Amino acid sequence: MLVLAVESSCDETAAAVVADGGKVLSNVVASQVEIHARYGGIVPEIASRKHIEAIGPVVSEALEKAGIASSGVEGVAVTRGPGLVGSLLVGLSFAKAFAFARDLPLVGVNHLEGHIAAIFLTDHPPVFPFVALVVSGGHTNIYLVRGVQEFKILGQTRDDAAGEAFDKAAKLLGIGYPGGVVIDRLAKDGDRNWWPFPRAMRESLDFSFSGLKTSLVTALKKRAFREGELPDLVASYQEAIVDVLVSKTIEAAHREQVKTIVVCGGVASNSRLRERFKENAVAAGVEVLVPPPSLCTDNAAMIAVVGNWLLEAGRRNGLDLNAVSRWPLDERCDQ
Ligand code: KG4
Ligand code: ZN
């Protein structure tokens, strides 16, 4: 089935055309990063307005790049949550209108499931069951994935998400937005053992990152670091995040006796996280699969994969489909 997918849950307006849930014909992402960078974080009201401006041209570009007319689309998938409701509504309204005008089936997709599904667009798709780490700006969750739409939550953050920990640190240090990208780059030349940042909740599969930010504030107070030490500081900070993400996910795979781990979401594009997973996987006897960075950060191709599964299974949503800010993967959403 030729699926047009639309994604607008945060600050990226995205559209993609994917054939049979596996062949990406186009994957267009219009980022608002430069606008929000001025404020050091996403301003929801601005995000919604920018989505409204971008959605039409982004969908047209996706169709054009795929080399199909809108009449060639066979089904429409759209992110309905979790995310910023004002942003979600723009994509949702557009997708509904597109489907209604052409009498096409429409289905709403969970953004987190989309992140996990991105791995099915690679040359090495996993077989079920596997453990998935979804690590983004809003979520840090470990799941056991038993099959399509069969999730069991194994661990989650009790406070900030890992992406938030990156973004908040970068804001505190005044080094730019989004923090993960800037820290990833700066940390490459840094000493990862320069400062002993804490690793919280060692015994649990749950995460806590809010203390890490506090310890960064404390570190800055204790020691006035010189500019040349910035790479060391951020490399140590990044290592603390990476350490807990890697060790808890591998521990989850051991506990569930699963041999495959999928790492996804914006933070999965972090080069040190990818490197550490690769290193530790060998010793742990597990296989770690990570999509390429362009499929880790928000995009619509990943939404099309789930959309295709659901549409092929006969799932349909009506024009009353609503946006939801919160939608745990292991809960049905009948709203
Ligand atoms: O999945 P995503 O694009 O959007 C959400 O669903 O949240 O993730 C965005 C998050 C941001 O917090 C950003 O700082 C982080 O992903 N991120 C990174 C990197 N690239 C993006 N974090 C660490 N290293 C990166 N290279
Ligand atoms: Zn995301």
| CATH number of domain containing 301 | 3.30.420.40
Q: Does 333 fall in a domain?
A: no
CB 108 within 8 A of CB 89: no
Q: Does 325 fall in a domain?
A: no
pLDDT band at 330 (very low <50, low <70, confident <90, very high): confident
Long-range contacts from 42-50, C-beta under 8 angstroms, 24+ separation:
42/10, 42/11, 42/84, 44/84, 44/86, 44/87, 45/86, 47/10, 47/11, 47/84, 47/86, 47/87, 48/84, 48/86, 48/87, 48/89, 48/90, 50/11, 50/13
Q: Does 329 fall in a domain?
A: no
**Residue with token string 């982004």:** 58
CB 216 within 8 A of CB 237: yes
Has residue 122 got a pLDDT over 90? yes
Nearest ligand 1 atom to alpha carbon 271: 26
Q: Residues lining ligand 1, CB < 6 A?
A: 10, 136-138, 163, 166-167, 178-181, 184, 265-267, 269-270, 297-298
Nearest ligand 1 atom to alpha carbon 238: 23
Verify that 24 and 57 share a domain, yes or no: yes
Nearest alpha carbon, ligand 1 atom 3: 297
Q: What's the domain count of the chain?
A: 2
Q: Does 269 fall in a domain?
A: yes
Verify that 193 and 253 share a domain, yes or no: yes
- Structure confidence at residue 123 (pLDDT): 96
Quote the strand ranges of 32-104, DSSP E. 75-81
Verify that 133 and 27 share a domain, yes or no: no
- 62-79 pLDDT per residue, tens: 999 999 999 999 999 999
Q: Does 62 fall in a domain?
A: yes
What does the block give as tokens for 34?
A: 């430069």
Verify that 166 and 198 share a domain, yes or no: yes
User: Which ligand is nearest to the Cα of residue 109, counting in written order?
Assistant: 2
Q: Does 102 fall in a domain?
A: yes
Verify that 149 and 43 share a domain, yes or no: no
Verify that 157 and 111 share a domain, yes or no: no
Verify that 102 and 249 share a domain, yes or no: no
Verify that 103 and 143 share a domain, yes or no: no
Q: Does 326 fall in a domain?
A: no
Give the mean model confidence (pLDDT) for residues 194-198.
94
E strand or H helix that includes residue 193: none
What domain range is 248 assigned to?
A: 125-290
Nearest-angstrom CA–CA distance, 66 and 289: 27
Verify that 179 and 267 share a domain, yes or no: yes
Nearest alpha carbon, ligand 1 atom 23: 180
CB 9 within 8 A of CB 46: no
Verify that 108 and 148 share a domain, yes or no: no
Global pTM reads 0.96
Q: Does 259 fall in a domain?
A: yes
Verify that 227 and 285 share a domain, yes or no: yes
Verify that 14 and 56 share a domain, yes or no: yes
97 CA → ligand 1 middle, Å: 30
Query: Of 136, 146, 82, 70, whose CA–CA distance to 108 is shortest?
Result: 82
- 27-75 pLDDT per residue, tens: 999 999 999 988 888 999 999 999 999 999 999 999 999 999 999 999 9
User: Which ligand is nearest to the Cα of residue 267, counting in written order?
Assistant: 1
Pocket-testing residue among 166, 175, 239, ligand 1, by greatest number of atoms within 8 A of Cβ = 166
